[in-house]
Structure 1
Amino acid sequence: MTIFPGSARVEMVMGMPVSVDIRTALPAREMTPLLDDAFSWLRWVDDTFSPVREDSQIGRLNRGQTIKQIPELIEVLHRCDEISKATDGYFEARINGVTDPSGYIKGWALERLSRALVNAGAGDHRISAGEDIRVRGSAAPGKRWRVGIRDPRKDVIRKVVFAHDLGIATAGGAPIVNPHTGAVEEGFGSVTVIGPDLGMADAYATAVYAMGPMLARRFAADLAAGPYQTMIITRDGQEVSTPGFAEYSGAEARLAG
């Protein structure tokens, strides 16, 4: 089988292993600084947006200190407000006076990195951070990327999707709070959302999980009218998905509209 001669690197960023796998054939003199810049960007995002770092802009904001007018910071906070309105507050970056954009920022950062790689001529790549994955281009000449969607609670592959251009975000590996009740939502095993923008998929997966079973199915069905499709794993291990998921996975289960 013909393969691409690209390069891959894994580093610890944001408290987890992050993988950048570039399959586009580029000379080493271009590939090495490209990967260096990729991880520099991700470390900058962590330094700027981490809610647990006192010296981050989010940490300073939560302590009422002066923050820098960084365009990316303004963009993220504005987008989080928009997503909160679109999800009826089930995605919420500000709870009890504390700002934490974690449900959006990782997907956003990987999406921005993916676009930068395309602009740099590395259009065939896969970026993975935890349960957030962004693929573009081809894994090998003419071959779509093959991505296993892992059940974060049981560490097993529940579905495999094939795509040339897709963001894939799964929620459920860490506790998710229902912003309306303040309680940890426990109605699902996991929620996966796929679509063209990984940041939005990340936020939607968080929101759908926080909604609980009844509201989540209705919201997922509404999302499916656009470019975002959802797969839900129930607490008892049943799998249901919106119809468009089958275009990538061949799934048989469906969510009623």
Structure 2
Amino acid sequence: MHRVEHVMSFPVSLRVDDDNVSESAADAAFGWLREADARFSPFKEDSEVSRYDRGELSCEDLSADLREILALSEHYRQATGGAFDVRPPGRRLDPCAVVKGWAVQRAARLLTTAGATRFVLNAGGDVLAGGGPWRVGVRHPEHADKLCTVLELTDGAVATSARYERGDHILDARTGRPATGLLSLTIVAATLTEADSVATAAFAMGPEGVEWAASLPGCEVFAVDAGRQVLRTPGFPAAA
């Protein structure tokens, strides 16, 4: 089964190699991603996130899902000393850095519940895979037609934060200025919830974020700093 849809403002591709998994499983996964976008996008005026940010909902009014997202966001704010913050001073609430991986991880759970054992979900370049090994290329931070590394993923996730797609869009909330100490940072972890959140949080910290991410249990790191030096953890699963 192969399917590609534009959801959450980026292309999401799904490949399932199990013959026993029906199209209805893909329908459920993509349906959930559309629901998550509608509920948690800060760019939709009627979303739960936007309504909460405007003060139309109290903490007691929030869904269990949004409370979980905000709890994850607060965890990474504290863990990074405030460098990562989904509501930087003077800006609106924007939990997209947490929502993306969290939502895709739940979509994968729908697939596995339906019987999928060998699959790949690629959400705008962040990948969640099962039943590998799968080879995943990481884009070169300065040359769109080149890869800076290829990794091998069996059951797990990989996420990259970088400046090449959206410019200097990740802020170091401690200073309020764009984080420019790294060109790209890739995290491999057991879940896309963790990989995506850690990649953004570490990127916001700059070079010190590489060491912080590397200290987290189960996380492997590949980074290119502003001086074009490659930094990687010994356990990063680079393909042979």
Q: TM above 0.5, one fold?
A: yes
Q: What is the deviation of 1:179?
A: 0.5
Q: Does 1:206 align with 2:213?
A: no
SS in 1 for 2:203: helix
Greater RCO structure (CA 8 Å; 6+ sep): 2
Q: Counterpart in 2 of 1:167?
A: 157
Matched pairs, number: 232
Letter in structure 2 aligned against 1:13: V
> Where does structure 2 lack aligned partners over 5 or more consecutive residues?
none
Kindly report which structure 2 residues correspond to 1:78-89, keeping only aligned pairs within 5 A, or say none: 78-89=71-82
Identity of aligned pairs, percent?
A: 36
- Counterparts of 2:143 and 2:198 in 1: how far apart (Å)? 22
C-alpha displacement of 1:152: 4.9
CA offsets per residue over residues 133-158 of structure 1, 9 Å max, x none? 101113xxxxx111111235432211
The answer (yes or no) to whether the contact 2:25–2:110 under 8 Å persists in 1 is no
Task: Name which of 148, 151, 162 aligns with 1:158.
Answer: 148
1:24/1:88 CA distance change after superposition, 3 Å: same
Cα drift, residue 11 of structure 1: 0.5
| Secondary structure of residue in 1 paired with 2:215 | helix
Residue 134 of structure 1 contacts residue 198 of structure 1 at CA under 8 Å; is this kept in 2?
Answer: yes
**1:91–1:203 Cα contact (<8 Å) kept:** no
CA contact (8 A) 1:193 1:201 kept: yes
Q: How does 1:90-239 map to 2 (within 5 A)?
A: 90-96=83-89, 98-138=92-132, 144-155=133-144, 156-172=146-162, 173-174=165-166, 175-213=169-207, 215-223=208-216, 226-239=217-230
Quote how far apart the aligned CAs of 1:235 are: 2.5
Query: CA 1:112–1:153 in structure 2 vs 1: closer, same or farther (change >3 Å)?
Result: farther
CA distance in 1, matches of 2:222, 2:205: 14
Residue 207 of structure 1, CA deviation: 1.4
Matched with 2:25 is: 34
- Measured after TM superposition, the shift of residue 228 of structure 1 is 0.4
- Contact kept? 1:167, 1:198, Cα under 8 Å: yes
Q: With structure 1 as the length reference, what TM-score do the two structures score? A: 0.85
Cα distance in structure 1, aligned partners of 2:122 and 2:239: 23
Contact 2:84–2:205 (Cα < 8 Å) also in 1: no
Matches within 5 A, 1:49-88: 49-66=40-57, 69-88=62-81
Asked if the contact 2:41/2:47 (under 8 Å) is kept, the reply is yes
Measured after TM superposition, the shift of residue 200 of structure 1 is 1.3
C-alpha distance 219-17 of structure 1, shift in aligned 2 (>3 A): same
In the alignment, the residues of structure 1 paired with residue 142 and residue 65 of structure 2 have an alpha-carbon distance, to the nearest angstrom, of 33
The residue type equivalent to 1:49 in the other structure is: F
Q: Which amino acid aligns with 1:207?
A: A
RMSD, aligned CA: 1.7
User: Residue 233 of structure 2 corresponds to which residue in structure 1?
Assistant: 242
Q: Which moved more, 1:93-102 or 1:54-63?
A: 93-102
CA distances 1:107-151 after superposition (whole Å, capped 9, x unpaired): 11111111221121012110011131101113xxxxx11111123
Query: What SS does the corresponding residue of 2:171 show, helix, strand or coil?
Result: coil
Secondary structure of the residue that 1:123 maps to in structure 2?
coil
For structure 1, the 5+ residue unaligned runs are: 1-6, 139-143, 252-257
TM-aligned CA distance change 1:137 to 1:204, over 3 Å? same
Residues 10 and 19 in structure 1, CA contact (< 8 A), matched pair in contact too: yes
Per the alignment, residue 4 of structure 1 pairs with none
Whether contact under 8 Å (2:80, 2:205) holds in the other structure is no
Give the Cα–Cα distance (whole angstroms) in 2 for the partners of residues 209 and 176 of structure 1: 8
**1:91–1:204 contact (8 Å) kept in structure 2:** no
Supply the AA of the counterpart residue of 1:146.
Answer: R
